[in-house]
Structures are given as C-alpha cells and as structure tokens.
Structure 1
C-alpha cells in the first residue's frame, strides 16, 4: 500500500488540497479522464508513457477509474505504486453528500495514516493514490480471518480519529431549497436574503436533531436526507412526515445512550460494504488464529463518514454481509458477531492513549446489546438514501425496490422492538431469525 502522508493538511482542512479546474465527462470518458490525470502528472505525457484506465463497478453511486501508466521500463510494482484513482461523483448526489465534508474526512484520515494521499480535487470528483490490494466480496466478509481484520481496522478508526465539526459554513452545509429534489438550481442563493434565512433556519433544525451531540452526526444526516425527499404528491408528503416521526422516535430512543467515544460518538465510516474493504498484501509469516496468513485491510470511500454511535457502524457493516442483494440468510449469527466484537474491543482499548481499566468481557457484552438495538437503523438510513437515489440517479440500479427492501428491515426490527409482531401472531422474518441464530 502506498504510504499516506499528511501533505500539509491541518485538522482535515480541504482548503490545502489542490483543485483542478476540469470536469470528468462520462460521455467522453477517455479524453476527460486523461486531461485530469495529466493535470496532476504532466510527466505522463512523455512519449514513453501509455495511460490506461481500469473501470471499477463495485459501487452504485460514483464512477471509479484506476489510471495506470504503462511506461517503458517500469515494472508492474512501479506501475501499481504510481497508479491514481479517479472518482467522479454520481449525478445529483450533492443532495445526499456534503462534498466539502468528504474532502475534510479524507484529509483527516490521511493525517492519521488511514487513507491514501489525496492528490487533487476537480469539479465533480477527486484524485487519490491507489491502494494496492483486492476488493472484498460478501463471501470474503464472512471469513473469520477477514472479518477479524475488519474489526481491528474499524477499532483503529474509532479509537484514534477525532470527531470534528464540519469545515463548511452553516448555509452551505445543510439542505437549502436547491438541495431538495426538484429545487431551483438557478436561484441566486447568496442574493436572496429570504432564502438565506431559510437555509440558516433549516440548518439549525438539522444541527439540533440530537441535542448536545457534535454536528454533523448520524442523526443530522438522516434529518437532512428526509428534508430532501420529494414532496410533489400527497403520498410523498405523507411518507416524508412518517419518516420524520420515525426519526424523532429513534432520536429519543437511541441518540443519548452511552457508548464508546467522546459523548457516545466515534468517527465512523458508515458505508462499510465489501466494495469499500481492500485486502492488502500481508507480510510473510503473519498468521491468523485459524492458521491462514493473517490479512490486513484498509477502507476506502469516506463520503458518508461522520460521527456516529459505534454500534451503528458495526450494525451497518453486518448488514452488508448480505451484499446489494440483501441476502438475509448470510447475515452474521450471534456467535459471529461476538467474535467480531471481541476482536474489535481488544483492539479499541489497546489503541486508546494511556491505560484504560475496563472489564473487556463486560464491554463486549455491552456492545453486543447496543448493536442488537441498532440492527434496524441501517435499513432506515439506506432506505431513505435509496428513495432519493430513485429520483436523481442515472445509474442502472433499481433503487426504488432497494428502498423498500431496506425500509422493510427497519419495520421488522421495530415490530420486534415494540412487540407488535408477536401480538399480531405474524411469522418472524428471515432477517430477524438469522440475527437471533446462535451458530
């Protein structure tokens, strides 16, 4: 893996990252991507250079290209070490993602040696160093040697990276009229005092979603997304109102619970699916508990990273064991979750500064309970996300069906939590059956 450098970044500020005034165009992929690469690597225009692009298709939001210079005389190792990743944002995703915050996240993680060097930003994306390794599959995530490595890496994130406020202004960091689906993008926000006041009021509403918690956080993100939902029809407005009410209930129930990190929040990835976990080369002789070579993993794509309860980050990762197909039969059993959490807790407390005296077995039990409580929240989170993607995305993916599948996970959890499923005599859904399975 290419070693990360601080690159002069302070407190994760995106202001020190180079900006290239150019745009990636999917209709002219080769030429536009080449222009961007040559802007940061002009020496790649030499006669003995040959730039090639490899397209990755693991994500369902962005375009990701690996730029490789097959320069005369360079070894495969050299080509790999010099490779650059180009990530172009999906259409309309500014509704969902604070891109300034994403750059801040990347810079902060680079500072702590947990992200590759961020080389430059451009009009609709970013360029960063390639991490040598292979992308995992859902099957990989279920292998003990892999999931234990993920547990240790996630603990490193949570124990060492501080939660910091957003670097963007209150006006641009929230949801404005332009940031909702169907908003008037031609309106001059800065010249519209009424619009500015609306933005400030909306931002205050978002920031105060979970009183006393650093903003942004998991709860403010979901508030922002719900506010961005389409409201053109009575059905859409009714759905938005219902989701608002559900979020308010979740905030009351879960946001103030004690947990790991400062004030119950850790710097969380919040999108730890298989495509964002990279297995990196191991050192000869490293052995895992099961006798195989112990893998090392790194995480990529930090656009959803935000302060969050650790239990959400773990529950969200466990949900990804089923892949985009949401195969609930593949979710971790209780014993698998306990094994993961034991490795997580050991790493977490080993990485905290100073000597922290806690009963680690008790900490494992407490986190098991918290993850159980949070198991339905990923469905709520990604269900809202998919409702928005169904309207804005031009990617060939059935977001509408995905939204219903994920929200159904939330409703199933709620029915168990409040006892309504038992009271109605309905059968326990597969996901809940799998979650309660011991082996």
Structure 2
C-alpha cells in the first residue's frame, strides 16, 4: 500500500488515528500488533475515503474490525461536519446505522457493520427494493432535533454561489451558472405545495449507502452527510435517479438513463413505501406521490450537478466530477421540457 489519498498515506496511519485505535483496543481488551494490522481501502465513496481496519484479538480466530472514514477535501463546502456528527450520533441512538467509536482530526472511526453493501443491480431486485422502501419509511419517521424546515432550496443556492466562485469562466458558461438561480427559484415555486409531507430524508440513497444482512434480510442505511428535512418526494426522486449509476466500473461517473426505472417499478416502490406503516394506500395516493417524485428529479439533477462542479475543484478522489455534472445538467434540461407542463398544474 503506497498511495496517498486526501492526505492519508496508506501503510502510514495518522498518529491521532493510531492513538485512537490503540485506545479502543485497550478498552476492548485487545492488543494491536502493528505487523498484523490490515488496512483495506473500500471503493465507491465519492465524498470521503473509507477504510476497513482489522486486527486479531486475544481470542483465537477472532478478528476485530472497524471502519475508518477519512474526510474528503473541501467537504465543508457541502455541509457542516459538526451537524453531520450530531446527526450520526442521534440516528445511532435511535437504533439505526453504526455507532460512532471516536474522532480524530482527519476523520472518525465507526462501528463496522457486518453486512453486505448493496451492488447497483440489487436496487432492481424486487425483494431487496421492497426492503429498501420499508426502511426508507422507517428512516423518515425519525424525529431529529433542530429545525424541520426544508433544506433543499437553501442548500442548492449556497452550492450555486460556491460553484460560481470556484468555476472558470469556461465552465460557468458551459453549465449556465448565471441563469441557474432563476431555475432554482422556478423549481421551488412550482414544486412546493401545502400538502407535501416534510420528513427527515437521507437524500443520498445510492446503493453504496445501503447494507443488507442476508441472514435476517434487514436493511441498514449508512452515511448521513446530506441527511436533512426535505419533502418525501425528493428522497424518492434521489433514490430513483441513483438506479442509473454504477460506481464500481472503470467509468464510475457514467450514468445510464436507459435503465432509469419505469412507471411500474416506481409505483411498486412507492406502494411498498406507503404500505409499510400498515395502511394500504389507494391508487390515487400512489399515483400522486410517484408523480411528485418524478417532478423532484429535476431538483435532484441540479443538486448533484452543482455538487459535481464544486467537487471537481476541491476533491482529488479519482472520479470525473465534471463529466458527472454534465450528465446531470443535460438530464435536467431534457426532462424539464417534458415535465414542466405538469409542474404548472400542481396545486
């Protein structure tokens, strides 16, 4: 291991991380033999670098494993890390996700979830998809501290300002950043309506942030950097958009909109989501939420398009952020011409 990623030289752990691991091991009654410490980089993350660190314990054939998250460069432009840690701890207290084991200047150590991270194809498995829908509903029912106002529009405007400051004149022109404020204003006006339900959403339900225990068929949602209060339809839209991505290929930035879920698949997911609380939804309820989610894909494309532009300038993870942004913005303009008429008919 000899690759430097975001200030973390693999094979040479940061001193503060090493102290934290030794402290955790001591509390658990373990002894860390540096010669037997195993560090594995986990691929697929695009905001942070994530590592699995393991060492043998005093018990024969027993291995202690933790997850180490090294914060990506420039992530403070996307969210407040202190707020994210508070969210992480609160969700953990509710019995969701991993426990926070400790922090150090470059990142944190988390409980390692002994479950399988989903693959891109898993999102299209009807059985797994139904489990995700039910877990999403459970997640949305969490009561989190702080304001319950919609964060989406504020965050998009903040990111737009950051993108304008960072972008070259050529990129600013290419992505139409000067006209983007008007697009965000229009979307907020057209998509927001009084009867939409606001929940604590994950907002980044790509397959890599979903784990399954195949013995118990239980789903765990992880990585809450972008979690906040938003309309249900937005979180659904985000999940549907993530079905076109596969971040574990030679070209992880390429999105295949030819496999975007069709109406039947989206309706099936929405029906399972709504029925997981024990009440069978009407076809009208399913249709309404599915339609709202489809409209919110427009906001989702702008959201992650802006994220891609900013990331291209501040993050050095091996991912073509600008090409990713191009695809999201292209899809926005393509779908806007199709969805705008229905947008204007919203109450």
TM-score bucket of the superposed structures, by smaller chain: 0.7 to 0.9
* Aligned residues of 1:92 and 1:392 also touching (Cα < 8 A): yes
- Structure showing greater radius of gyration is 1
Answer 1 or 2: which has greater strand percent. 2
**In structure 2, how many angstroms separate the alpha carbons of the residues matched to 1:343 and 1:55?**
35
* Aligned residues of 2:271 and 2:286 also touching (Cα < 8 A): yes
Structure 2 residue 262 is matched with structure 1 residue 343? no
TM-superposed CA distance for 1:385, in Å, is 0.2
Q: 1:184 aligns to what?
A: none
- Provide the TM-score with structure 2 as the length reference: 0.85
Q: 1:389 is matched with which residue: 297, 308, 311? A: 311
Structure 2 unmatched runs, 5+: 1-5, 246-252, 342-347
TM-superposed CA distance for 1:58, in Å, is 1.4
* Aligned residues of 1:52 and 1:70 also touching (Cα < 8 A): no
Q: 2:45 aligns to what?
A: 59
1:11-410 equivalences under 5 Å are 25-27=7-9, 29-32=11-14, 33-42=17-26, 43-45=29-31, 50-75=36-61, 78-79=62-63, 82-159=64-141, 161-165=142-146, 214-215=148-149, 217-231=151-165, 234=169, 239-260=176-197, 265-283=198-216, 295-323=217-245, 324-347=253-276, 349-350=277-278, 359-410=281-332
Pairs aligned (count)? 323
TM-superposed CA distance for 1:49, in Å, is 9.1
Q: 2:338 aligns to what?
A: 416
User: Aligned in 2, Cα 1:46/1:358: closer, same or farther, shift over 3 Å?
Assistant: closer
Structure 1 unmatched runs, 5+: 1-23, 167-213, 284-294, 351-356, 420-439
* Aligned residues of 1:268 and 1:313 also touching (Cα < 8 A): yes
Q: Secondary structure at the match of 1:107?
A: helix
TM-superposed CA distance for 1:282, in Å, is 2.4
**In structure 2, how many angstroms separate the alpha carbons of the residues matched to 1:418 and 1:377?**
12
User: Aligned in 2, Cα 1:118/1:47: closer, same or farther, shift over 3 Å?
Assistant: closer
User: Aligned in 2, Cα 1:360/1:101: closer, same or farther, shift over 3 Å?
Assistant: farther
* Aligned residues of 2:301 and 2:328 also touching (Cα < 8 A): yes
Q: Compute the RMSD of aligned alpha carbons.
A: 2.5
Deviations 1:335-372 (A, max 9, x none): 1111111110011x33xxxxxx8854432222112112
TM-superposed CA distance for 1:215, in Å, is 4.4
